[in-house]
Structure 1
Amino acid sequence: MKSTLFSTFLSLIVAFATAAETEQVIDHQYIEQLAEKTIVDNLTVTSGANIQVKVMPLDKRIKIQPCQQPLSASLSTKKHSRNQYVKIQCLDEKPWQLFVSARVETMVPVLVATTNIARGSTLDNSNMKVEMRRQHSVRGEVLDSAEIVAGARSNRNISSGQAIHKKLICLVCKGESVTIIASNNSFSIKTAGTALSNGSIGDEVRVKNTRSGRVVSARVNAINQVIINL
């Protein structure tokens, strides 16, 4: 009889100990950190960009109940939204849930003018730089690298601090000499030509072959260089 009682008592101790080990220590800070991690893990960030997550502190009057199961966390808003809500759930025998709000800012690299740039001026490291800006404030097809446009010219006035868009500059400028590269998988031919229109990286422009006089369309590849895929 004593042996049976002792065994029962020991089983109860083990059961309580196991429950204590399983039960998470949950407080406001834990919930807020879980919400932030859930947002970071679920958002897709483009190359070179980063996100800044600011979780709104939970009301101190909210009492967090214990939970014997790992908490479940999921986004309850669209991934691209700046205002995020994370649903936190406890799914044990006494379930509960709450929502945590957060502000998300996606920062992207943007090429900007560091001084006023007059129309026709050459772009270089003295008048432009890359800086991180809030994605929602970026408009149009901006550039994110100074290297690829160094040596290009502005075809409009650009104000200091203004984002440099493709349309504001020309890597190939009308009336200037260009190198025309005609290529396929087997060979490549270079010849001289003259640009008949302005173009930025990736744009299609019309160029005149100096030798043949033929006018063709080509894609801007670099400063004063265009490519024709044969």
Structure 2
Amino acid sequence: MRTQLLVWIMLAATFANQVQARTTADEIREATAAFLETFAATQTERGYKVAFETGNIDNRLALAACSDDLDIEFTGDPWKSEHPSVQIACAGDRPWRMFVTTTVSISGPALVAARPLGRGERVTGNMLETRDVVLNASRRGIITDSQMIEGMIIRRPVNAGSVLTPDLLDAPIAVSRGDHVIITARRGPFSVRSRGKALASASVGEQVLVENLGSARTVKANVTAPGHVEVPM
């Protein structure tokens, strides 16, 4: 009887331990905060300032104890949202995963309009200035190097102090409809040049139809520079 009683006591204790062994809300909260602190420290080393908060976690939460280290990652790009979710997952014997909402603010330098900019204006350095802004407040991205957008065209009016984003800019027209252009037909290291006429307007990197003035053939070419297009042989 004593042996059976001892066995039942041991089984009951094991069961009780299993019931009590839980991943609590406090542990989830601490793991999320540690993950965000590591992210913030990494960005600080790169010259950015990061502030963050962990969203509410129900204190009644009780997930299975995890036999492995918790896996934690953003479910989206924190550089494109101030409210990225964090996924916390356990891949142990009793796997589970959950999501925690967060608030993350990443501040750093970006180009802004130094004055109101009109549609069609060509970008020059004196139209821009650098200010510290919340970089992840916009999903459209930011621009930090003025040389990258020098000469580009303002697509629509921009208020003074507004952050410059790629969607506000167009590449300048490199080839206009009716322009005479140099057509380079290239295959590996070999190339042949001929003269042509653009049948539409296009920027560098875009495709345009051109008429070969020697053969009268119409071909689709890539604009490589003002007045220059290229086709594969």
If the length of structure 2 is used for normalisation, what is the TM-score? Answer: 0.48
Q: Greater share of strand residues, 1 or 2?
A: 2
If the length of structure 1 is used for normalisation, what is the TM-score? Answer: 0.49
